[in-house]
Amino acid sequence: MSFFWKIRIFCFATVPIRDYIVFMRIIALSTLKNFWAAPAYADAKEPLLAWYRFALNADWASPANIKADLRSASILRDGRVIFNIAGNKYRLAVWINYPYRVVYIRFVGTHAQYDAIDPQTI
């Protein structure tokens, strides 16, 4: 093996594999599943899955990236974001760790349920 290949393999191996992955990680898919499993919210399954698939392939490094992708998203402070799901029928509150590209699902519910909570503290 030539010296060039040894250096190239060494350089590739020292960079964390996470740097080569450009999609988001979503924590607590079970929260979404538990929500649409209720008979009253069965119609939320497809819109929530569509959001999940979209978010998995997104590269949100900042709130500006989210607004560029989804204009209806509401950006709150401290990495909180509110997404409107199914034509504003449901709301999804998440906390995003932008440097690590991780989305933590904090709340999913109807507008009435959302109005009863404080999205900054959940």
- Rounded to the nearest 10 degrees, the angle between the axes of helix 45-56 and helix 29-37 is 170
DSSP 6: H
Segment 15-30, tens digit of pLDDT:
455 555 558 999 999 9
pTM value is: 0.80
Which residues lie closer than 8 Å to 52 by C-beta, 6 or more apart?
Answer: 26, 29, 32
Torsion angles phi and psi, residue 107, rounded to 5: -160, 145
- Distances from the Cα of 60 to the Cα of 30, 108, 119, 121, angstroms: 22, 20, 20, 22
pLDDT exceeds cutoff 80 at 12: no
